[in-house]
Chain A
Amino acid sequence: MPTTRSSWKINGRPVSLLGYGAMRLPTIDGAHATGGVPGASRAAIDQKLLNRQVKLLLDGGVNLFDTSPAYCRGESERCLGEALARSGYRRGDYFLSTKHSNFAPRQQTLAGGKALFENSLKFLRTDYLDLYLLHHVAADGMAGFTKRFLSNGVLDWLCAERKAGRIRNLGFSFHGDVKVWDWFMANHGKYHWDFALIQFNYVDWAHATENSNGFKRVGMVNAKKLYEDLAARQIPAMVMEPLLGGRLARYNYAAARELQPLDPNASLARWAFRFAASHDNILTVLSGMTRTEHIEENLRTFSPLKRLNAEEFAALERAAQAISRQQTINCNDCKYCMPCPYGLDIPAILMFRNEVITSPVLKQPKEILRLYEERIPEPLRRADHCTGCRRCVSHCPQQLDIPQELAKIDKWIDEVKNALA
């Protein structure tokens, strides 16, 4: 059974409802290149495995591949390009999507932007891109966006490239500051966004603004608003973080209690995918599948996709409420904050904290400290070494106040140590 197609088409051709996001490529040590397994991998990307996985995806009917020059320490585009070239499929059989990831100041000029684009084409072994995105447009708010895309003329040039045909569709990826979102919506008439990439899952649908720690998450926007804004303008939404970096796929008692009775065989991941894909205005649901087993399971979920009914939507909403009440830190382990200039392993520290919070068994101070040492083996990369320089804050798509979270974690660790001493 082939993968379900989206109701939208790209360049007049059908697109699979499940897309592949090349942010968490497999590495030779069995972790993935940008994390996931706490104490993340620095090993090289496992190209052979990736080749097999890409072939499996294409055979399964997945025909949209999304990447970025920033992913996997800059390796993602090259590796994906190679895997696609070796897959035996022709360029016209699949859609390529990458992003304008100009986060470093020297990339923020027109020349730097052009170089970034040309590099992407080179690495992906193509002369046109089906989808091209302005990456993480709300990093550093409207000021940052203006600096990155408007004042240097990059956006105008990208529109020109779209006209010239090297970019077939131009869109943007958004997390965070709603002012930037409003600008994009207001300027749809001028630039005509072909699509938008938004964080979309059953928790963020209506609970994105609720922080785990009881405070409002400043700057987060509910996916519902984003989706409805896009639908009103007939802009198709591309979905990212359908699983919140795997958080929604991991065992979670509160969610399982709501969902399992309805479909005892379904994994939590399947529920999350079905939520994202059950909406009409969805172009495709991107998933960064590190393991072949993830790919196989997701292909099963999407071949064909069973849409949610009202009862199931209600159950997911209850699960979302339960999840958003949990004390976990909303880190999706995307590693946008990395590398920390002071060498901290930020995602591993935050994931460790979540692991302890959600674990029903980890309670003893000794166990907590041992896990801390295991997850962040190098002492110099642990939370106490945060200097509060705040460089990471603007990079975080989840709008986490990372230095504050790290300070809290460090304080807690010191308390644990003191309790033991």
Chain B
Amino acid sequence: MRWLKRIVAGVAVAAVVFAFCGVRPFAWAAKVQIGSFAHRGVLGFALMFAVGLLTGRLFCEILCPLGILQSVVNRLFHRNRPIRRVCTQLPTTKVQFVVRVAVLAVVLAVPFLGFVTVGTWTGLLDPYAIFGRALSLRVPLIRENPLLVAWGSLGILIVVLAAFGKGRIWCNWVCPYGTILAFCGRFSLLRNKMRGLECGNCRACSVWLQERRVFGDDDEGDRADQPEEQGTVSGGGVTRRETLKGVAVLAAAEKLTDGGYAPVSLPGTPVREKAVLPPGAGDAADFARRCVSCQLCVVNCPEACLRPSTDLRDFGQPKLDFRHGHCLVSCTRCGEVCPAGAIRKIPKAERLTVHMGQAVWKADLCLRVTKGEECSACSRKCPVEAIHLIPGKGKGRKGRPPALPMVDANACIGCGACEHVCPVRPEPAIRVEGYERQKIVRRIGPSDVVAEMMRLVENRRNDVSVAVAKDGVIVARETGRGVSPLLKLLDAGALRDAVVVDRVIGRAAAAICIVGGAKAVHASVMCTDAEHMLRERKITAGSKNPVAVIRNSTGTGVCPLEEAVRTLNDPNRMVKVLRRKLAELKDKAAKAAKP
């Protein structure tokens, strides 16, 4: 039994350490921690009591990484002496009782005072969060800030120092969960059956500790200590002073010689009216209550754009910061790992439906305004194409009217790509303002198969001009110019209930799709009239580049097929006219070729 316990304890600590090293399959280790369900409201609390009533403090022995760490530390220094471990039956002194209850009362009461969020406050004393914060110091992002270093290392230092002498002092005197579990444990079902003994100072608990052999999880314990030592060495980040002097963009605008680099610098710390929360955080207030600031999401963020807040009110709770990267459009890792339910797991397919905030453009900072630069970094980078350049009045640097960016707030998901790439220093000219409650917007947009088909038709190497998918599978592709490939598909009956992706869709092509009974039509280029025509008939329609008219292949005028159906509105009739016109054009070409 005791070996089983040791093995479970070893595995539990190792798993938590791995989880904090970004090894994804170990994220479960955080989810079995008591703090993770205690924060899920009344049900969570009930569950915690149930665990206590059922198993006493078994949790503290075999799953709590901080508790196990204390045992290991004590064991290392007192090989032959029994230590005080957690045992619900151990006699407690009055002083201990008073301290415990007082701590618990303070823990429960302080959040009501309102100067700190529930999550941050309870996270301070949550054993798992203390352990996690220490591990999170391995991330350079956190080591940048001395306040975060202190916050990450102090907790575990105090606990470990206390454990040198008499073992699990912290567990038995302070830990609020420990208090609750100990209280429940007095009535635990397993209280006597764990060892088959009543506690009459049996010292059974000390016997197994007297064994010579060291715990199987010593290594993990040591490893857990390491980050904290590193933590005292300050990270090689960019200081604020450095960032503020970095207005050096464009210093090398005049090219004299080849090679070399213009200086670059990170932007300053962003100032936002409302913080941007990780995708899946939902309501800001819920998030603040639930997140125990364990930093598991921060260390797992592949783009290093999650970083702990340094506001005293929500200290340590993760916020998005786009200085080092932007929130990837199909990444849901923070939600996957979050043990406290603060960041909910979003299905990958729905990731784009979560809008975290919206980009706000600042005209007075933008290079287009201040320097007349032809900078389009934000609109180029936007993964959801929510930033458009609107031609303005007057004359710009190159005699053209200066186009200025505008954010489509409905399309913007607040991923911060624009803020990340904006070259303006120290404050980017476009920044994301978070939503108090994240928006869920169902999209009727390119699904994966549409994106794939779009790639097919847009890359000319593939020589595909139309692709058709049914039930998420590409079933047909056609080559050729104009509408003939679509007509071919129509004649083959391939358009019924299909998703069609074409290079160019004008009204003529739209009519064919309607007659063919297509379900959705996407195009690289689509004229707005065609889009309307399709939408009127409840056919999903969208394009990367909406245009007013479709031009002919030489770009000298309107496409002759579009011209032929310009005055018509009935799709069936339009298709008939199209066929006639095509035959006509063919004849003409044949005649032109003859002499």
Query: Which residues of A are in contact with B by a Cβ distance under 8 Å?
Result: 23, 33-35, 40, 42, 69-74, 101, 103-107, 213-215, 334-336, 338-343, 345, 378-381, 384-391, 395, 403, 407, 410, 414, 417-418, 420-421
A213 with B255: in contact, given A388-B375, A390-B374 (CB under 8 Å)?
no
Residue on B with the closest CB to A214?
B461
B226 at the interface (CB under 8 A from A): no
Can you name 24 A-B residue pairings with CB atoms under 8 Å? A34-B259, A35-B259, A40-B259, A70-B256, A70-B258, A71-B257, A74-B256, A213-B461, A214-B461, A338-B258, A338-B259, A338-B260, A339-B252, A339-B255, A342-B250, A342-B423, A343-B249, A379-B325, A381-B261, A385-B377, A387-B376, A387-B377, A388-B377, A410-B381
B261 contact from A336, A338, A395, Cβ within 8 A: A338
Instruction: Report the Cα distance A335→B331, complex, angstroms.
Output: 35
Q: Assess A73 versus B265: contact at CB under 8 Å? Given A342-B423, A417-B303.
A: no
B residues with CB within 8 A of A: 249-266, 302-303, 324-325, 328-333, 367, 373-377, 380-381, 383, 417, 420-421, 423, 459-461
List the B side residues contacting A421 at CB < 8 Å: 302, 328, 330-333
Q: Is the Cβ of B374 less than 8 Å from the Cβ of A342?
A: no
Contact B459 A380 (CB under 8 A): no
Indicate which residue in B256, B266, B324, B380 contacts A388 across the interface (CB closer than 8 Å).
B380
Question: Which residues from B are CB-within-8-Å of A74?
Answer: 256-257
Across the interface, which residues of A come within 8 angstroms of B256, CB to CB? 70, 74, 103-104, 107
Within the complex, which residue of B324, B373, B417, B461 is in contact with A389, where a contact is CB–CB below 8 Å? Answer: B373
A378–B262 CA distance with the chains assembled, in angstroms: 12
A386 touches which of B257, B331, B377, B461 (Cβ 8 Å): B377
The answer to whether A105 and B254 touch across the interface, beta carbons within 8 angstroms, is yes
Whether the pair B257, A73 counts as a contact (CB closer than 8 A) is yes
Docked pose: A378 CA to B246 CA in angstroms = 15
Assuming the contacts A418-B331, A421-B328, asked whether A339 and B259 have C-beta atoms less than 8 A apart, the reply is: yes
Q: Which of B262, B325, B333, B420 contacts A342 (CB 8 A)?
A: B262
In the docked arrangement, what's the CA distance between A395 and B262, Å?
Answer: 16
Contact A389 B252 (CB under 8 A): no
- Given contacts A69-B257, A103-B256, whether A418 and B330 have CB atoms under 8 Å apart is yes
Which residues from A are CB-within-8-Å of B250?
A: 341-342
A42 to B264, CA, bound (A): 14
Closest approach, in angstroms, between the C-beta of A79 and any C-beta of chain B?
13
Cβ distance A369 to chain B, nearest Cβ, rounded Å:
9
Residue pair B254, A104 in contact (C-beta under 8 Å):
yes
CB closest chain-B residue, reference A403? B380
Chain B residues with Cβ below 8 Å from A40 are 259
Question: How near does chain A come to B335, taking the closest CB pair, in angstroms?
Answer: 11
- Nearest to B254 among chain A residues (CB) is A104
Alpha-carbon gap, A34 to B259, bound state (A): 5
Complex Cα gap A421–B383 (Å):
16
Interface pair B421/A384, CB less than 8 Å apart: yes
B558 to chain A, nearest CB (A): 25
Beyond A101-B257, A389-B373: 7 further Cβ-contacts under 8 Å?
A: A339-B260, A340-B262, A341-B249, A342-B250, A388-B375, A391-B255, A421-B333
Output the least CB separation between B116 and chain A (Å): 32
- Which 9 pairs of residues, A with B, have the shortest CB-CB distance? A421-B331, A343-B264, A214-B461, A74-B257, A387-B375, A380-B264, A387-B377, A335-B259, A418-B330
Chain A residues whose CB sits within 8 angstroms of the CB of B303 once the complex forms: 417
Checking A72, A103, A381 against B259 with a beta-carbon cut-off of 8 angstroms, the contacting residue is A72
Q: How far is the CA of A33 from the CA of B461 in the complex (A)?
A: 36
Most buried by B among A42, A338, A403, A410: A338
A74 vs B333: C-alpha distance in the bound complex, in angstroms? 48
Nearest-Cβ distance from residue A172 to partner chain B, whole angstroms: 18
User: A72–B417 Cα gap in the complex (Å)?
Assistant: 34
The answer on a CB contact under 8 Å between A215 and B460 is yes
B257, B302, B329, B333: which has the most chain A beta carbons within 10 Å?
B257
Known: A343-B264, A389-B373, A418-B331. A72 touches B249 (CB 8 A): no
Are B262 and A385 interface neighbours, CB within 8 A?
A: no
Residue picked from B259, B264, B377, B461, most chain A C-beta under 10 Å: B259
**Chain B residues near A389 (CB, 8 Å)?**
373-375
Q: How far is B250's CA from A340's CA once the two chains are assembled, in angstroms?
A: 9
User: Does B257 contact A384, Cβ atoms closer than 8 Å?
Assistant: no
Q: Residue of A at shortest CB range from B302? A: A421
CB of A334 within 8 A of CB of B265, answer no
Chain B residues within an 8 Å CB radius of A379 = 324-325
B124 to chain A, nearest CB (A): 31
* B324 contact set on A, CB distance < 8 A: 379
- B534 to chain A minimum Cβ distance, whole angstroms, is 27
Shortest A324–chain B CB gap in Å is 13
A378 partner residues in chain B, CB cutoff 8 A: 264
Q: Which residue of A lies closest to B249 (CB)?
A: A342
List residues of chain A with CB within 8 A of the CB of B417.
Answer: 384
Distance of A334 Cα from B258 Cα, bound (Å): 8
User: Does A420 contact B302, Cβ atoms closer than 8 Å?
Assistant: yes
Q: Which chain B residue has the least Cβ–Cβ distance from A406?
A: B380
B421 to chain A, nearest CB (A): 5
Known: A72-B258, A339-B259, A420-B302. A386 touches B380 (CB 8 A): yes
In the bound complex, how far is the Cα of B421 from the Cα of A32, in angstroms?
29
Q: Are A103 and B421 in contact (CB-based, < 8 A)?
A: no
Q: Which residues of B contact A213 (CB under 8 A)?
A: 461
- Determine the distance from Cα of A69 to Cα of B257 in the docked complex, in whole angstroms: 7
Contact yes or no, B264 A407, CB < 8 A: no
Q: Inside 8 A of B380's CB, which chain A residues have their CB? A: 386-388, 403, 407
| B263 touches which of A343, A414, A420 (Cβ 8 Å) | A343
User: How far apart are the CA atoms of A101 and B255 in the complex, in Å?
Assistant: 11
User: Chain A: which residue is nearest B378 at the CB level?
Assistant: A387
- Bound CA span A280–B417, Å: 55
Once the chains bind, are A336 and B258 in contact (CB under 8 Å)? Answer: yes
